[in-house]
Copies of this chain bind each other. A is one copy, B any other.
Amino acid sequence: MAATEKNVSRVLIIGGGFAGLECARTLAGDSRFSVTLVDRTNHHLFQPLLYQVATASLAAPDIARSIRQILEDAENVTVLMDEITAIDPVKKTAEGKSGHHFEYDYLLLAVGARTSYFGKTEWAENTLALKSLADAQAVRRTVLSNLERAELTDDEAERKRLMTVAIVGGGPTGVELSGAFADLVHRSLRSNFRRIDTSKLRVVLIEGSARVLEAFDEDQSEYTRQRLKEIGVEVWTGMRVDDVKKGVLHFTDGTVLESEAIIWAAGVEAQPLTAMLGVPLADRGGRITPQADLSLPCMPDIFVAGDIVRMKDADDKPVPGLAPAASQMGRHIAKILKREKDRPGGQRDPFYYLDKGFMAIIGKNHAVVKAGKLKMRGILAWFAWLFIHIAFLIGFRNRLSVLLGWAFAYIRDNPEARIIVNPPGTKVQ
């Protein structure tokens, strides 16, 4: 970080997701701030479309963009790829895994969420997650490789295991993923194999509670279940996972499901960095409840934003872990910092969440949307989903490339990213 000039505040942003990026963008060009954004990866990821990389519809660069590239015109912003391993809120410093030492006047912690196994960390080894690009490519690689192995084998039991995709978690990720997989194997890949019938591949969506998409209304959940069933997804609700062994799911009612592709989308928790701030955590998921302005109690120079925040909105409903909430928080914090430069000592505004609603796509051309009192479903909801996701994709080439990819895949039922780059088990140099 550059040496502190007079009246220039050093802002350290940890995390280049929606919250961190939006904060940096709002501070960009304001020479009263010297901003450093640190992320473990070199790219901002458009997480809402991650499942499409997993299901071979999109290529990784379609939904990810170099953070430096996004911020290249922001001369007061320095982007560094590093992993923060320690924060000292008293000395106002942080340490990077690379050995780099960071100093700040203001800190924004926006490190996001990771997959939660509810304490059963050993389950991670026997399942695939869906939080990063590498995760998505691993899901794609596993499902496509399993089909290749199924085409080769003469062992019926093995073939059955290879031709079962189990998705644990009936939230939007699970619903979107299972719908896309059903479309892929039952429609697109049908004429690709000679020895197996891909329309027989089982896609099983598993949810512990009584219905999928719990954040939506009951009739929308029911609609979603119907639609998923129509396109060939088995929806198992009220089924609780008891244990996960290699290739086998055990349920509390004694049911056993064998599958060589178990995808875990059942829950998230905050990245563990939240435990370093010395404030009590708000839940077992490691999240933090900040003050109304998003700063920490007794630490007005430290802010939190995005998926690590647990707070309620004006209607006393929890602010969801969604991209719009994270962006709004990042922007709010940047505005507080700017305001304090304009009028030092003034009162800070509280954060108000503007609810943009929820949406989930179900297979090829259906979706459900819930935004306040507005409820939509079917093809109209699908168009709304399409429009909103394209509009918020960062970067022009990405947007056009994604749109084209979708258009072709839609017309020809033929997603083009069906390649296995690294065979399972290879080591990346």
Contact = CB atoms under 8 A, between A and B. Distances in A.
A6 interface: no
Contacts of A422: 134, 428
A405 interface: yes
Nearest to A141: B428
B428 A66 contact: no
Contacts of A65: 416, 418-419
A82 B152 contact: yes
A186 interface: no
A60 interface: yes
B78 A195 contact: yes
B397 A72 contact: no
Nearest to A41: B420
A398 interface: yes
Given A72-B191, A404-B397, A404-B401, A42 B152 contact: no
A159 to B, nearest CB: 13
A134 B149 CA distance: 20
Contacts of A142: 429
A395 B423 contact: no
Sorted nearest first, the 6 A-B pairs with minimum C-beta distance are: A59-B59, A61-B417, A68-B192, A81-B148, A66-B418, A78-B194
A428 B427 contact: yes
Interface of A: 40-43, 59-62, 64-66, 68-69, 72-73, 75, 77-82, 96, 98, 100, 128, 133-134, 137-138, 141-142, 144-145, 148-149, 151-153, 189, 191-195, 395-398, 400-401, 404-405, 408-409, 414, 416-429
Nearest to A96: B152
A429 B426 CA distance: 7
Q: Is the contact region of chain A dominated by helix, strand, or loop, or is it mixed?
A: mixed
A96 B153 CA distance: 11
A144 B60 CA distance: 16
Contacts of A153: 98
Contacts of A192: 66, 68-69, 72, 79
Contacts of A78: 194-195
Contact of A421 (B137, B194, B195, B396): B137
Which of A59, A149, A397, A398 has most B Cβ within 10 Å?
A397
Q: How many copies does the complex hold?
A: 2
Nearest to A427: B427
A416 B80 contact: no
Given A42-B148, A98-B152, A133-B419, 14 more contacts: A42-B419, A43-B420, A59-B62, A65-B419, A68-B192, A69-B192, A81-B152, A134-B428, A137-B421, A397-B404, A422-B428, A425-B429, A427-B427, A427-B428
Contact of A405 (B80, B96, B144, B401): B401
B428 A152 contact: no
Contacts of A414: 69
Contacts of A80: 148, 151-152
Contacts of A408: 396-397, 400
A282 to B, nearest CB: 31
A287 to B, nearest CB: 26
A377 B64 CA distance: 36
A419 B64 contact: yes
Nearest to A194: B78
Nearest to A195: B78
8 contacts: A42-B144, A42-B148, A42-B420, A60-B60, A61-B417, A80-B148, A397-B409, A401-B401
